């Protein structure tokens, strides 16, 4: 295996803020000039604006020549560890290769320069693609229809909560059915979004196997139960084998079951939400289906429902009329209110469709199995390292696509936290991993999900890096405490961004507040968390 990463140093351009690059009079681009004939006819329209409507002085935007703007943002891009340039095993994020060919197709004006409300006859290619993908997703999930309107996993889960609300409302039961049940190791959005939708949320805590037990569910289920919303496998990589009983119990109580498949990568072609009895589900096309993560979006959640919930899907629906072709049905009827503008992030849909078309059924299954194989390979190697534990030792089931490791022993023996480790990882030229979502039930957690894209050599390098860091924790912990050393910027004073007197979310605020950075009465934070 290559040892290239021990000599890594990130690009460190010391690139100033764009405002600091401003030179009076410089132009980055010129908009098209108005035809003289138009100006002659209408005059200076802005000059005719009433006092309160006109801008009093030009906005204080920077004046920067074109190549310098390009250089500025290219340098920033070079100080960013996308999957294209660095190994990324961020747990719960399903990092994988986003095929370049999809990007090149999606840049076509045939997709990029479509208006959502242009005559539907001119959108037939897009609607056909989305309609076909809808059918493919139904096959993957066992659902009967999908919407691609939500732009992220969280918004997809929120959509599920709204569907549950609409269902009970339509039956006149929303007043009494106001509770959603989730689990502590489901994504925070499974607890947060039903709360936003107006539900009371009950969170089941894990039993000794590391997932919620059936008795805990029995105690929580009642005539007030509106639904169950959870991931499986959970963010720990553990699949709850009694999931069918969970679903049945909630159904018997009159609730609906929503399967958050943000962790669906290991189950493609293996398990279908519909076969398990779920009424609805959502997949993250920007994770499992290879659409790029976009530096935190543009994502897309595919939300699927069984036929009894079809009427509640948000409008418009894509409908095929065998004589007329495809059209968008805006008829509101029982549909829930709009989740996102228009029909959603269609570029993510095109990329997910392309990915599935290039893999087929056998390929999808190979993706799932390989993600599980790679994860178990990492687990086999990492469990041998000093100071590392696998939580819930009584749970002998193999993990699926990720593992939430505990570095508690390492912390007790060296004082190095999991947050210290992730800062140090960057020095080795890899993206850091995730610690854990809240609640942090696993002490000193690191959640690692290798996915199906990486090679054995890349996985071995990651093991070597973590092994090196563990050695450093015992031998020279200060080297980790001061890390990173070779990153794109030096270690920051992170108290500043937590302190209302100091934080600055814009350049104008920064200029006003930076003097407070050296004040004596600054808020000191004992211990910074990390890893969302």
172 is a site residue for another protein (CB under 8 A): no
1 binds another protein (CB under 8 A): no
In this structure, the strands spanning 403-406 and 301-305 are unpaired
Residues of this chain, 308-327, that bind another protein according to CB under 8 A: none
Interface with another protein (CB under 8 A), residue from 230, 318, 403, 454: 454
Smallest distance, Å, CB 366 to another protein?
Answer: 4
Q: Are 448 and 433 in contact (CB under 8 A)?
A: yes
Under the binding rule (CB under 8 A), the answer on residue 179 touching another protein is no
Pairing between β-strand 301-305 and β-strand 145-147 as defined by DSSP bridges: antiparallel
Separation of alpha carbons 243 and 77, rounded Å: 43
Q: Using CB under 8 A, which of 256, 403, 434, 448 touches another protein?
A: 434
Half-sphere exposure of 174 (CA within 13 A, CB side): 14
CA atoms lying within 13 Å on the CB side of residue 236: 26
Whichever of 4 and 380 has its CB closer to another protein, that residue is: 380
Of 198 and 415, nearer to another protein (C-beta) is 198
Q: Pattern 60-79, binding to another protein, x per CB under 8 A?
A: xxxxx-x--xx-xxxxxxxx
List the one residue from 52, 322, 394, 526 that touches another protein (CB under 8 A): 52
Q: And the tokens for 134?
A: 């809808």
**C-alpha to C-alpha distance for 321 and 336, rounded to whole angstroms:** 23
- Binders of another protein among residues 495 to 514 (CB under 8 A) are 496-498, 500, 503-510, 512-514
236 counts as binding another protein under rule CB under 8 A: no
Residue 476 within binding range of another protein, rule CB under 8 A: no
Q: Which stretch binds another protein (CB under 8 A): 216-224, 253-261, 383-391, 434-442?
A: 434-442
| H or E element, residue 436 | none
Interface size with another protein, residues (CB under 8 A)? 225
494 membership: H or E segment, kind and range: none
Residue 279 CB, shortest distance to another protein, in Å, is 16
Residues 243-282 contacting another protein, CB under 8 A: 243-244, 267, 269-272, 275-276
Q: How far is the CB of 394 from another protein (least distance, A)?
A: 13
User: Binding of another protein at residue 80 (CB under 8 A)?
Assistant: yes
Query: Is residue 386 a contact residue for another protein (CB under 8 A)?
Result: no
Cα of 83 vs its chain's centroid, Å: 14
Among 205, 223, 241, 308, contact with another protein (rule: CB under 8 A): 241
Give pairs for 433-438: CB < 8 Å, separation 24+. 433/89, 433/90, 433/91, 433/531, 434/90, 434/91, 434/92, 434/93, 434/531, 434/532, 435/529, 435/530, 435/531, 436/235, 436/404, 436/531, 437/92, 437/187, 437/188, 437/235, 437/532, 438/188
Rg for the chain, CA atoms, rounded: 26
Scan residues 196-225 and list those touching another protein (CB under 8 A).
196-198, 201-203
């Amino acid at each position: 295996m290559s040892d290239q990463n021990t000599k890594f140093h990130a690009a460190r351009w010391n690139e100033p803020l764009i405002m600091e690059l401003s030179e009076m009079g410089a132009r980055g681009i010129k908009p098209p000039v108005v035809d003289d004939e138009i100006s002659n006819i209408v005059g200076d329209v802005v000059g005719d604006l009433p006092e309160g409507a006109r801008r009093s002085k030009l906005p204080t935007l920077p004046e920067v020549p074109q190549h310098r703007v390009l250089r500025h943002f290219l340098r920033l891009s070079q100080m960013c560890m996308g999957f294209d340039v660095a190994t990324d095993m961020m747990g719960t994020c399903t990092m994988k290769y986003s095929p370049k060919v999809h990007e090149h197709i999606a840049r076509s004006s045939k997709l990029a320069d479509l208006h959502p409300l242009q005559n539907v006859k001119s959108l037939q290619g897009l609607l056909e693609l989305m309609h076909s993908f809808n059918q493919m997703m139904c096959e993957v999930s066992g659902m009967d229809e999908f919407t691609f309107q939500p732009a992220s996993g969280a918004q997809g889960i929120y959509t599920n909560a709204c569907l549950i609300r609409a269902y009970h409302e339509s039956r006149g039961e929303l007043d009494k059915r106001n509770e959603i049940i989730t689990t502590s190791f489901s994504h925070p959005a499974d607890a947060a979004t039903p709360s936003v939708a107006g539900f009371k949320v009950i969170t089941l805590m894990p039993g000794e196997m590391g997932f919620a037990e059936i008795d805990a569910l029995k105690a929580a289920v009642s005539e007030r139960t509106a639904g169950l919303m959870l991931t499986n496998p959970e963010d720990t990589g553990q699949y709850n084998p009694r999931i069918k009983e969970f679903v049945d119990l909630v159904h018997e109580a009159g609730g609906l079951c929503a399967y958050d498949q943000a962790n669906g990568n290991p189950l493609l072609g293996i398990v279908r939400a519909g076969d398990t009895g779920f009424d609805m589900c959502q997949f993250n096309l920007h994770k499992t289906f290879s659409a790029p993560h976009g530096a935190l979006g543009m994502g897309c959640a595919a939300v699927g429902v069984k036929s009894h919930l079809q009427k509640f899907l948000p409008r418009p629906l894509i409908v095929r009329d065998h004589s007329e072709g495809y059209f968008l049905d805006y008829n509101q009827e029982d549909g829930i209110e709009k989740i996102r503008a228009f029909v959603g992030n269609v570029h993510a849909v095109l990329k997910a469709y392309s990915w599935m078309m290039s893999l087929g059924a056998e390929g999808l299954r190979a993706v799932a199995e390989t993600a599980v194989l790679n994860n178990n390979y990492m687990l086999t190697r990492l469990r041998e390292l000093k100071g590392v534990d696998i939580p819930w030792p009584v749970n002998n089931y193999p993990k699926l696509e990720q593992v939430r490791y505990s570095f508690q022993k390492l912390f007790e023996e060296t004082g190095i936290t999991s947050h210290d480790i992730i800062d140090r990882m960057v020095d080795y030229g890899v993206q850091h991993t995730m610690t854990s979502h809240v609640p942090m039930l696993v002490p000193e957690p690191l959640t690692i999900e290798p996915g199906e894209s990486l090679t054995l050599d890349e996985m071995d390098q990651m093991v070597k890096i973590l092994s090196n860091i563990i050695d450093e924790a015992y031998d020279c912990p200060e080297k980790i405490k001061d890390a990173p050393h070779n990153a794109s910027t030096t270690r920051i004073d992170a108290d500043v961004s937590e302190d209302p007197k100091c934080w600055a979310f814009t350049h104008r605020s920064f200029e006003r507040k930076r003097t407070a950075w050296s004040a004596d009465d600054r808020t000191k934070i004992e211990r910074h968390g990390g890893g969302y």
